[in-house]
Each structure stands twice: as C-alpha cells, then as structure tokens.
Amino acid sequence: MNELPPDAPRLRAILAYLDQRLAETETVATYLRLQTAAVRQALTAAARQPPGARRRPPQPALQASAQQEEPSGFVVEKQLHAGHPLGATVHRADCTVIQRDANPVSADEGRQALTGDGKFFHACEFCRPDAHLGIPG
C-alpha cells in the first residue's frame, strides 16, 4: 500500500488555497471583461447621439432628498470642479439630471443666482428653472 508523505495534508491545503485564488482571479477577469464591454457599448451609443441630445441618467436618491428638503422646488447643484466656466447649476427640485450634491434654495435665492454673474451660476438646460422663475432667456 502506498502511504502518503507526511507533508501531504499541507500540500493539499496549499493546492486548495491556490485553486481558490485562481477561481477569484477568473471571477475578477470575467467582471472586468463585462464592464469593458458595457463601457464600449455606452461609448458607441453616445457617439451616435447628437451632442445636444446627451443626457445623464436620473439620480433618484439626490432628487428625492432635494424634494424632501426643499418646499420651493429649487436646488443648486455644485459645480463640476473648482474654476469650471459654467459654475454651479440651478435646477428645479424634480429635475432628473442632477448628478452631484445639490442644496435646496428658495425661489428668491434661485432667481438672484440666475440673474447675477453668469460665471457663478447657470440654469439647467433640461428643467429650465429660469423660465419657471420668470427670468427672460
């Protein structure tokens, strides 16, 4: 009868560990391949749309929190980055294109922001809070 060497249990444990790591690596590789394909598909779809028609998907969590906090129905979304030429964006609270943190503002504050210096605030081109506030476009 062939007897196993004394280090066989240790070698089996090492083999099991290595098999597990290989399985995890394959899972990660599969995930990355799927994500790469999804990004390529999104880029292809975006390239087919006219530049003015591109919209970001709605962010219900931000939208819902803005609606709950703001009875007047307006929010200011933080600017994309410091020094961005458009500044912060004024939205109606029910706007579906809010992407970043947004703070509730009153109608008067929204009106003041939109009638002030254009390098600090601008109106969302989709929900048009300026039209709702009676600001001529």
pLDDT, one tens digit per residue, over 3-32 is: 777 788 888 888 888 888 777 777 677 667
Query: Residue 68: which pLDDT band, with cuts at 50, 70 and 90?
Result: very low
Average pLDDT, the chain: 77
pTM of the predicted model, to two decimals? 0.47
Both tokens assigned to 5: 């060497």
69: how many CB neighbours lie within 10 A of its CB?
12
Question: What does the radius of gyration of the chain's CA atoms come to, in whole angstroms?
Answer: 26
Phi, psi of 95 (to 5 degrees): -65, 140
Q: Residue 89 is which amino acid? A: T
Average pLDDT, integer, range 111-117? 84
User: Could you give the percent of the chain with pLDDT greater than 90?
Assistant: 13
Phi, psi of 49 (to 5 degrees): -85, 145
Half-sphere exposure of 132 (CA within 13 A, CB side): 20
Residue 127 has pLDDT above 90, yes or no: yes
